[in-house]
């Protein structure tokens, strides 16, 4: 008698039987009646069901996915006209969801943001996950400040452009943050969403819900270093003045593969403006 091997069709049939509520005994009996050798049938049953249940379990443990900002890239346009400003679509990736834009800000807009932010800089603080307040963080050796949403014509114009490009309400955005990295400064890999396991997170989420998207705008071009890196997928986005990298995360979970950081600046300085987008109104 020749040895049988389980086929993909057999595995599919086993999963269908399990879904229909038939117990393993009944499924095994049917397989034997259909002419499958008992040991092959048992091995196929065990292997198929354990894989299937593990996958189901992983799905079940995941938080539900949320709507996310997303540019209109149907038809693969080379560039988009956004409120009278032409933005190039340079690179995109689907998991993590990343899109790199060229010419999102003009040189004048970049220079104006740096000039306005410079006198207002302080050592960067990140949200304290325990209290929901803010704290100085060793992982982020840059200096930073926040502009109030809509605080000037320039800020409003940029915020309106972000909203139109990413199809997301301006009211759901946090204020634009400017970060300044000197040589050697970096922002170690992190997720931008708030960690659901941290005690301070429920307090943070009362105002606007989770972060679901980030746009990092490059305000200058460092001489060397300072890429925005996505270590899970080996992606490095070069910081080029006026360009911007967008990424979204539909749940506060590493399956989004949105771990990212600012690589150390090796020569020169790096200035970025970051816009974080929330699920709901951030008032």
Ligand X SMILES: O=C(O)CCC(=O)C(=O)O
Torsion angle (degrees, nearest 10) of CA 39, 40, 44, 46 = 10
Asked if 192 is part of the footprint of ligand X (rule: CB under 6 A), the reply reads yes
Smallest gap, in angstroms, from Cβ of residue 240 to Fe ion? 18
Among Fe ion, ligand X, none, partner that 272 touches (CB below 5 to 8 angstroms by kind): ligand X
Angle at alpha carbon of residue 103, lines to 100 and 105, rounded to 5°: 105
Residue of 260, 265, 277, 279 that binds ligand X (CB under 6 A) = 260
| Binding track over 198-217 against ligand X, x by CB under 6 A | ----------------x-x-
Stretch that binds Fe ion, among 15-23, 34-42, 143-151, 191-199 (CB under 5 A): 191-199
How many chain residues touch ligand X (CB under 6 A)?
A: 10
Smallest separation, CB 2 to Fe ion (Å) = 58
Q: Is the CB of 45 or the CB of 144 nearer to Fe ion?
A: 144
CB 129 within 8 A of CB 195: yes
186 touches Fe ion by CB under 5 A: no
Q: Kindly state the smallest distance separating residue 218's Cβ from ligand X, in Å.
A: 8
Residue 87 within binding range of ligand X, rule CB under 6 A? no
Q: Taking the mean position of all CA atoms in its chain, how far away is CA 205? A: 17
Q: Does 262 bind ligand X (CB under 6 A)?
A: yes
Report if residue 192 touches Fe ion, rule: CB under 5 A: yes
In terms of CB distance, is 48 or 258 closer to Fe ion? Answer: 258
Whichever of 17 and 172 has its CB closer to ligand X, that residue is: 172
Residue with smaller CB distance to ligand X, 18 or 259: 259
User: Number of residues in contact with Fe ion, rule: CB under 5 A?
Assistant: 1
> What residue 17 binds from Fe ion, ligand X, none (CB within 5 to 8 A, per partner kind)?
none
Instruction: Measure the CA angle with vertex 154, ends 171 and 87; round to 5°.
Output: 80
Name the binder of 228 from ligand X, Fe ion, none, CB < 5-8 A by kind: ligand X
Instruction: Indicate whether 228 belongs to the interface with ligand X (CB under 6 A).
Output: yes
Instruction: Give the one residue of 274, 275, 278, 282 binding ligand X; rule: CB under 6 A.
Output: 274
Strands 187-190 and 228-230: unpaired
Q: What is the 3-state secondary structure (H, E, C) of the chain?
A: CCCCCCCHHHHHHHHHHHHCCCCHHHHHHHHHHCCCCHHHHHHHHHHHHHHHHHHHHHHHHCCCCCCCCCCCCCCCCCEEEECCEEEEEEEEECCCEEEEEECCCCHHHHHHHHHHHHHHCEECEEECCCCCCEEECCCECCEEEECCCCCCHHHHHHHHHHHHHHCCCHHHECCCEEEEECCCCCEEEECCCCCCCCCCHHHHHCCCCCEEEEEEEECCCCCEECCEEECCCCEEECCCCCCEEEEECCCCCHHHCCCEEECCEEECCEEEEEEEEECCCCC
Residues 16-55, interacting with Fe ion (CB under 5 A): none
Options 272, 275, 279, 282; binder of ligand X; rule CB under 6 A = 272
Residues at the site binding Fe ion, with contacts judged by CB under 5 A: 192
Binding site for ligand X (CB under 6 A): 179, 187, 192, 214, 216, 228, 260, 262, 272, 274
């Amino acid at each position: 008698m020749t040895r049988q091997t389980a086929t993909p069709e057999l595995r599919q049939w086993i999963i269908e039987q399990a879904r229909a509520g038939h117990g393993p005994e009944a499924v095994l009996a049917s397989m034997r009646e259909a002419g499958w050798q008992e040991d092959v049938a048992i091995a196929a049953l065990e292997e198929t069901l354990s894989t299937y249940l593990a996958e189901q379990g992983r799905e079940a443990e995941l938080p539900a996915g949320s709507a996310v900002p997303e540019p209109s890239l149907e038809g693969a346009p080379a560039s988009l006209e956004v409120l009278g400003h032409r933005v190039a679509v340079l690179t995109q990736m689907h998991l993590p969801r990343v899109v790199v834009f060229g010419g999102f800000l003009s040189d004048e807009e970049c220079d104006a943001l740096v000039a306005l932010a410079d006198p207002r800089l302080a050592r960067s603080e990140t949200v304290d996950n325990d209290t929901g307040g803010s704290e100085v963080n060793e992982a982020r050796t840059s200096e930073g400040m926040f502009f109030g949403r809509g605080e000037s014509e320039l800020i409003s114009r940029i915020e309106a452009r972000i909203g139109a490009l990413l199809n997301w309400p301006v009211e759901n955005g946090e204020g634009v943050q400017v970060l300044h990295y000197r040589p050697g400064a970096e922002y170690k890999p992190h997720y931008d969403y708030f960690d659901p396991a941290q005690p301070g997170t429920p307090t943070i989420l009362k105002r606007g819900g989770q972060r679901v998207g980030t746009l990092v705008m490059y305000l200058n071009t460092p001489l060397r270093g300072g890429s925005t890196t996505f270590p899970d997928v080996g992606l490095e986005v070069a910081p080029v003045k006026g360009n911007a990298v967008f990424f979204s995360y539909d749940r506060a979970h590493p399956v989004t593969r949105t771990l990212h950081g600012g690589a150390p600046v090796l020569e020169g300085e790096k200035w970025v403006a970051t816009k974080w987008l929330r699920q709901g109104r951030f008032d």
